[in-house]
Structure formats: C-alpha cells, structure tokens
Amino acid sequence: MALATSWWGPIDYVIGILWIGALLWFGANYMKWTTTNFVVTNERVISRTGVVSKEGIEIPLDRINTVFFNQSIFERMIGAGDLGIESAGEGGRQEFSNIRKPSLIQNEIYRQVEGLEDRRLDRLGRAAAGIGAAGSAELSIPEQIEKLDQLRRQGVVTEEEFQAKKRDLLDRM
C-alpha cells in the first residue's frame, strides 16, 4: 500500500514562515513608530527617530513656509497621517510619516509661527520705542524710525518688518 503524500505539510511551513515574517515586519515598524519623537516648540519643530541608529532634524519656525498633511482612510481611523513641511532651509521640503493627529500638528505649527512673529514685532516695537533693559525714556517718532532703520541695516529686522513698523509710526504722527 502506497503512502499518500499530503500537501498540508509544506503549506503549513509556508504559512508559518509568512506569519513569522509578518510579525517581524510589524514589530520592526512598531518599534520605529514608538521611538519617533515629533515636537513643536515656540521656536522650532524637532523630529527624532530610530531604534538602533538615530536620525533627527530641527526646523526653525521662522523658516517654515507651508505645512501640509495627508491621511488615508485607514490612517484617519487610527488617528495618524503624513506631515510635510516646506521651509526656506537647505532641505526645502521635509516629509514625516505616521505622525499622530497631523491636522492638529499643522494647526499648532501655524499657531506657534504666529506667536513667534508676534514676539518679534513686540521686541521690534520696544526697540523702536527706545525701551532698553534699563527702561530709558521714550524716543520721538523720527528718533524711533532712525533707530528702526539702524536695526534694519544691522540685519536684526527684515525690510518688510521695517516698512510695516515705519508705516505704523508715521500713522501716529
């Protein structure tokens, strides 16, 4: 009597190897995801990732031009997505994958950029008004414009900031 060969034996091995491969793939991606840090501060966006080797980037908020995100249907269900940042830096465009709640991160980045700009204009206004660390007396409007022009020539303020503050000062005359 001949022994019947069963195909289930080799198929069981293939299925077992596929299961082990899938678990290893999932475990590696999960480890990478849990060791990824994405932080938005009041001056920069910081990203650090890596299990064994580390990789990181810091993008100053004042160099960010555009922030965009993308979520597939599955990513929307689990609250993740991809985030892209276009900046005036060397890299130009940075992509960040599997970010938690990318739409909220996008809003927070824009909020922090606006806050940075407000703080800069506030410092600019104090510098133009002549209020230093010692709290010196307030300058006249022409003196404030001259002080503002000095700051522009030194590169402390941009031409656009200079023109905006100058218009503001001239409107007060």
Instruction: Give the pLDDT confidence of 62-95 residue by residue, as tens digits.
Output: 899 999 999 999 999 999 999 999 988 677 888 9
- Both tokens of 80, joined, read 């993740």
- CATH number, domain 37-116, options 3.40.190.10, 2.60.120.560, 3.40.80.10, 2.30.29.30: 2.30.29.30
Count CB-CB contacts under 10 A for residue 100. 14
pTM of the model: 0.59
- Range list for CATH 2.30.29.30 in the chain: 37-116
Q: How far apart are CA 38 and CA 66, in angstroms?
A: 17
Instruction: Give the pLDDT confidence of 122-153 residue by residue, as tens digits.
Output: 887 777 665 554 444 577 888 888 888 888 88
